[in-house]
Structure formats: C-alpha cells, structure tokens
Structure 1
C-alpha cells in the first residue's frame, strides 16, 4: 500500500521565504510489518548477500559496554540486518557509480562511546549477486529492542525544513513570526512543519538533542545525512505526520499510543533506541570511498 503524508497544514515557503534555501527532500520509508524476501527492499528483513562473501561480524568488540542489556559472550558477534533498499525504490537518493543496492547492518549491543548499536554500510550491484547467503541468527543475548522485526517499505518523498539544524541567527529572525503562527493556529514549527519523523533517507537527521553533525576524517568536509533510524514513526508531538492510510489504526490508540493497532504503525519494527532515540548515519559524498560515520541521541 502506498503511504501519503498529509500536506503540511501551512505553506512554509509562503510564510517564511527565508527558509527556502534550506528546503530538502527526504525519503520516508514507512516500514510496516511484513514478510519481505531477500530480493526486496526491507527494514529488518533478509539481505541479498552473496554466498561467497562472509557474513560480517562486529569489528568493535572491544567497545562493547554493559548498560544493563548485557554484552556478547566473547565469541564473534554477527551483525543483524537493519535496512536494504534498491535504487529503484529510493528516488532522489544518490548511489555511488556501479551500485544500486544499499545495505545497513549493526551489532545489537551497546558500544562505547555513544552507547548504542554499531552500524556498518555496504553498497553493491544487485545483479552481481548470484547464490544468496542465509543470515545467521541474532547473537545470543542480543538486546531485543535492537533487533528490528522484518518490515516491508513504503517509500515516499516529502519536503523538509530544518528544525534542530535551523541556524541560530535565522531562528532569532523568525522567532516572533513562528510564535505568532503558533498562537493564531496552534501549529508548532518543529513538530508540524519542519522535518519528518521516523525512518528516512536524506533530508535532515531526526535529532532529539542538539545536532552533532560529523566532519569527514579524510577531507574535513561536513558529511551528508544518509539515514535516520528512529525508535518510532510518530508520537503525540508528531501525529500530524501520520500517513492518511494509517490514521484509522493510529487513532485507535490516540490517548496513549500504546494499543496493539496503534503500535503497528508507531513502532512496526519493535525498536527502542535508548529513551526513544535514533541512530543517524552520515556519508562523505566528496570522497570516492564514501566513508561513513554515525551519531546517537535520545531523550
């Protein structure tokens, strides 16, 4: 089923033309519980992984830290699938030449210094994969909330504006007008008009705290946002972003968002990263190797 985010309840470009240079397109992935195959784009589903290529294991074993969720038992720790998306399902997302498949995996234990799963990114040409390797089971003792349940994707392009990433000088210029809009309409810029919540490619990271935008270690340039992996698709603050097709289910638990129907939309993959936080992946598109970094924050 295609997902359609409702139009924003106010025209940001018309009300705040100063924001036009900061407008970006993001691809909301809208994962929903399903049974994807290894040939399909998915979240937490099986990967198109060549049998001749070893399944990746955690390279940060020395960084495992026990925050109450446990640590591996000392054996090699296989990574778990997080995202697989084909270029055809990712309009507007740049892929390196010769690749058309993006895969993200992570180690489902906490790691120093960010106290979160440790992700890795793989890019490949899907047609070059012949026989497919079956993924090993999640490692024993893995944090349950760090192992996403298989979901199919419903990609949708939407327009975003910066919230946490809004430059401070511009925020000061707009402060009175934003406050007036909220007073007159009840619309809050950050939650109703700026950046979309949930799992998404491109656009602006879904920061909970102050931005921690990384620079590339190789060339020093600011890295580009690749992927936000969020704990949930929406909460009471972001409820205006719930797709039209999901509103009957989401509205069933509007008071506390915890009933089974609501959770199928709000937390389809069963993730909980810290206190409803997110992991943000970045890449340097100026360097041929496309180096990757990640950041984590939560409430």
Structure 2
C-alpha cells in the first residue's frame, strides 16, 4: 500500500514567493510495522550484512553491538538520495544506549554494493544492555518524494520579514507555517532535517564546510498538531498507527549528516528533544 502526503492546504509559493529559492525535496519513508526481510528496505529490519565483515560495535560501551536502524536499497527511493558511486545500499545502525559525549545514541553509517555481499551474516550479535525506546520496531517503508520549505532552517532575516504574514495566515485559516506548511515531519531522507529545536548543522572537520542532511529518524510520524496536514491520505489522522515505536528525547529525533566533498563521505549526527 502506498502512502501519499496530501497537498499543502494553501499555496505556499504563491503566498510567500520569498521562499521559492529555499524550496527543496525530501523522501518521506512512512515506516509502518511489518515483517521486512534482509532483502528489503526497512526501518528496524534485518540487514544484508556480509558474514566476513565485523559487526559494528560501540566504542564507548566496551564493544556492545549496535542495532539496525535503517536499510535503503537505491532502487526503492527516488534519485534525490546521493548514493556514492558504485554503491546501491545504505545501512544505518546505532548503539541503543545513552552516551556521554554523543547524546542518546551513537550511529554508524555504511554504504555498500548489495551484490558484493556474498554470504550473509544470518545471526548478528545483540547488545546485552539496551534502552528499549532506542530500538526501532521492524517496519516496512513506503518512500514518497515531497516538496519542503525551511522551518527552523529558514534564515532569520527572511523569517523576520515574513513573520507577520505567517501569523495573519494562521489567524485567517488555522494553518501554521512551521507545523503545517514547511518541512515534512517523521523519518525521512535528505531535504531539511526535522529539527524540534534550533538547528545545529555540523561542520566537516576535514574541509570546514557544512555537512549535508542525509537522514532524520524521528520518534513519531507527526505530532498532534502537524498530523492534520501531513497524515497520508490513505490513513485516518485520528487513528493511531504502528511505527518504529521510538522515544528519542520524548518526541525528538536523531539527524545524520555527511560531507560530499571529503573522501570516504565522513558523517556526523545531532539530536534534539521535543
């Protein structure tokens, strides 16, 4: 079953043409509880991992194994996602425990060629200790390409220039720019990060440039306010759905970034709470 985001309830481009230079696109993953296999793109599902490649371990918790978070096959998502040359599989894992210097979780990103895996690791190690709220329930995904405008990432001078018009629109229609019209909520690839608070985009230690957003992993698809505009048309916005079941800083999220300029695509992450 596909998931389609309803059209924005108002024409953002017409009402706020100043935002057009900042318009971009992201891929909403719409994770829903299911039974993905290692062959599938998924959130929290099994990974296509080589038997002869070490499983990622947490450097802080005495080698505690990480858990699968996201697996994405290139053919399952739009070409917006910048896969490295020669790679067609993205895998993200993290250590599901709190970390002194890294926040709630410590992620690991792996790009690879699916047909080069060979013999698959059938029984990866599992951490002896974990925060259950940091372990995603296995979910199938329903990738969808959507248009976004900046929310927390909107430049301060542009925000100041538009704020009165944002407020006037909300008073007239009930639609809030940040919650209903700007960046898509939930777990997604590229586009704008799904910040709950002020942005903290990392700078690459190698080249000094700001890193590019790769992945947002959120606690929920949308909160009680934003779901009125972002719930897929195939679903009832007032009926709970079963997703990954994460609790990351209440209703916060984890955001992965990478540098497209430096060899090896170095990555970093940020987190916030709601």
Aligned partner of 2:20 in structure 1 is 20
Which sections of structure 1, spanning at least 5 residues, go unmatched? 62-73, 253-261
2:99 equivalent to 1:101: no
Secondary structure of 1:244's match? coil
**Displacement, 1:227?**
0.3
| TM-score normalised over the length of structure 1 | 0.89
Which residue in the other structure is 1:256 paired with? none
Partner of 2:72: 85
SS of equivalent to 2:91 = strand
Aligned mates of 1:104, 1:181 — CA distance in 2: 39
**1:59 Cα deviation (Å)?**
2.1
CA distance in structure 1 between the partners assigned to 2:196 and 2:123 by the alignment: 32
Task: Tell me, in whole angstroms, the C-alpha distance in 2 between the residues paired with 1:114 and 1:132.
Answer: 30
2:208 aligned with 1:220: yes
| Counterpart position of 2:258 | 283
Note the alpha carbon deviations across 1:98-149, whole angstroms, 9 max, x for none.
1010000000000122421100100000111121102435312211011111
Tell me the TM-score normalised to structure 2 length: 0.97
CA contact (8 A) 2:255 2:271 kept: yes
How is 1:1-299 mapped onto 2 (pairs within 5 angstroms)? 1-61=1-61, 74=62, 76-91=63-78, 92-239=80-227, 240-247=229-236, 250-252=237-239, 262-264=240-242, 268-299=243-274
Q: Work out the CA distance in 2 between the residues paired with 1:121 and 1:60.
A: 17
Structure 2: unaligned runs, 5 residues or longer: none
Shift of 1:183: 1.2
- Between structures 1 and 2, the one with greater helix share: 1
Residue correspondences, number: 272
Query: How much is the aligned-residue C-alpha RMSD, in angstroms?
Result: 1.1
| Cα distance, 1:263 vs structure 2 | 4.0
User: Quick one: distance in 1 between partners of 2:18 and 2:31?
Assistant: 33
**By how many angstroms is 1:288 displaced?**
2.4
* 8 A Cα contact 2:44 2:135, kept in partner: yes
Contact 1:46 1:135 in 2 (8 A): no
